[in-house]
Amino acid sequence: MLNSFLYTLILDDPAATAAGFFSLVCLTVWPLFRTRSGILLAQFGAGVGFASHYALLDMAAPSLVNVLGVVQTLAALFAMQSRALNRIGYALIPLMIAAGLYFWTGPASALCVTAMALIALGRMQDNQWTLRLLILAGGVSWSVHDYLVSSWIALAADLLSLTMGLAMLASMTAAVRPRARTGVYVGTLP
């Protein structure tokens, strides 16, 4: 049964499948990067792949918001050095929401727009905790969206991304947690 599913998936639309698998790889590895620019470059690759994937599946809203997400990711990459690019990065968020409203198809559109708005807001953050948390929150919305529209490659990518992202946050938490002091107090008491 799995072979039949994979065979059908690949043969039905090999270009959409290839774009989806490229995105799957990019979306799975972004949490492993320790720098903001590394995270954003992986997000850029995932955005290009998903814009292509959804376009090839004739899904206008998610494709368009991913194209806007790609442009916004480029602005976010340089937003910390340029006030103009910072403004562009934030200005694209309402444009993503407007695109989703224009192509409205119901709950799937709402989830798509919510996901991209959270992720876009996350990309604009300089603080890695906030950046990662907002991207992961957007990933939850994308997961529900991809389940509703039966985009199984995208759903797999979302779930892998969420798993890797949560594991990375756990490792970051462990790295900053203060160690318990052990031993005998040496010194004078007040």
Sign, CA torsion 139/141/147/150 = negative
Asked if residue 128 belongs to a domain, the reply is: yes
Asked if residue 152 belongs to a domain, the reply is: yes
Q: What's the pTM?
A: 0.82
pLDDT of the residue at 35: 94
pLDDT tens digits, 102-128 = 888 899 889 988 998 999 999 999 999
Asked if residue 31 belongs to a domain, the reply is: yes
pLDDT tens digits, 64-77 = 888 999 999 999 99
Asked if residue 42 belongs to a domain, the reply is: yes
Q: What is the mean pLDDT of the chain?
A: 87
DSSP labels, 134-174: HHHHHHHHHHHHHHHTT-HHHHHHHHHHHHHHHHHHHHHHH
Q: Which domain holds residue 55?
A: 15-175
Q: How many domains does the chain have?
A: 1
Asked if residue 181 belongs to a domain, the reply is: no
Paired tokens of 11: 């043969």
Asked if residue 180 belongs to a domain, the reply is: no
Pairwise CA distance, residues 46 & 158, whole Å: 11
Asked if residue 4 belongs to a domain, the reply is: no
Asked if residue 43 belongs to a domain, the reply is: yes
Q: Give ∠ CA 33-34-36 in degrees, rounded to 5.
A: 90
Q: Helix (H, G, I), strand (E, B), or coil: what is residue 82? A: coil
